[in-house]
């Protein structure tokens, strides 16, 4: 894909590091959005595809104006709408009720909390599942973040049926999603041109 969301490394967008970037959350509402996004995926409350694909559907102007967690909130809301977990207008109605002083609703479910904790313990596989990639238990995943500016990850896994292939043939089946670790190359997929 080549869209507004694929501008990593492009010139003219200013510094990649902004004050507060060293913090996981810069605003009080952001941890709640993180939790909502995790619940939507882990509890099957939203329709696929996963969050990133939905964020890439955002109108370019809206995408550029939105913060990181505003994009996450958009994708969670869209997935909930697509599955029918919330109806059109529900989010706007709740937002208005909160603006007029109604307290934030609380939901306490010990079993759900335990499931989420277990999911967070295995976060990388869960993220990969959100992208539609299932790796077996025999695959070891190592996460390395050199500076948070390097975002690509290469899984050194040769696809079955590619023995004897040239480097050019192998390179032709490696997609962007393969390079960031959210898909596996396949000998059966069409070559990238």
Residues of each domain in the chain carrying CATH 1.10.472.20: 4-130
Contact at 8 Å (CB) between 80 and 46? Answer: yes
Report the pLDDT value the prediction gives residue 145, as an integer from 0 to 100. Answer: 44
- pLDDT < 50 stretches in the chain: 1, 145-150
Q: Is there a cis peptide before residue 49, judged by omega within 30 degrees of 0? A: yes
Query: Which backbone phi and psi does 12 adopt, to 5 degrees?
Result: 95, 0
Report the pLDDT value the prediction gives residue 149, as an integer from 0 to 100. Answer: 45
Q: In degrees to the nearest 10, what's the CA dihedral of 126, 129, 151, 4?
A: -120
Report the pLDDT value the prediction gives residue 96, as an integer from 0 to 100. Answer: 93
Alpha helices, H only, the chain: 30-42, 51-55, 60-65, 68-83, 90-99, 110-121, 123-130, 167-171, 176-179
**Percent helix, strand and coil across the chain, each to the nearest 5:** 40, 0, 60
Q: What is the pTM of this model?
A: 0.57
Q: In degrees to the nearest 10, what's the CA dihedral of 32, 37, 38, 40?
A: 120
Report the pLDDT value the prediction gives residue 11, as an integer from 0 to 100. Answer: 61
CA atoms in the 13 A half-sphere facing the CB of 73: 12
* Residue 62 host element (H or E): helix 60-65
Contact at 8 Å (CB) between 175 and 157? Answer: no
CATH code that applies to domain 4-130: 1.10.472.20
Write down the residue that tokens 């934030």 correspond to. Answer: 104
Contact at 8 Å (CB) between 74 and 40? Answer: no
């Amino acid at each position: 894909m080549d869209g507004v969301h694929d501008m990593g490394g492009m010139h003219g967008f200013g510094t990649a590091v902004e004050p507060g970037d060293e913090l996981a959350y810069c605003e009080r509402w952001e941890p709640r959005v993180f939790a909502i996004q995790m619940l939507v995926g882990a509890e099957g409350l939203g329709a696929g595809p996963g969050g990133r694909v939905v964020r890439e559907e955002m109108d370019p102007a809206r995408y550029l104006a939105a913060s990181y967690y505003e994009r996450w909130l958009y994708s969670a809301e869209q997935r909930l709408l697509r599955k029918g977990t919330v109806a059109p207008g529900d989010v706007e109605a709740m937002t208005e009720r909160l603006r007029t002083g109604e307290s934030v609703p609380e939901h306490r479910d010990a079993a759900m909390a335990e499931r989420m904790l277990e999911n967070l313990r295995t976060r990388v596989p869960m993220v990969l599942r959100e992208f539609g990639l299932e790796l077996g238990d025999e695959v070891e995943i190592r996460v390395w973040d050199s500076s948070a500016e390097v975002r690509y990850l290469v899984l050194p896994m040769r696809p079955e049926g590619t023995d004897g292939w040239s480097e050019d043939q192998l390179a032709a089946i490696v997609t962007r999603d393969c390079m960031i670790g959210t898909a596996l190359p396949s000998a059966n997929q069409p070559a990238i041109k």
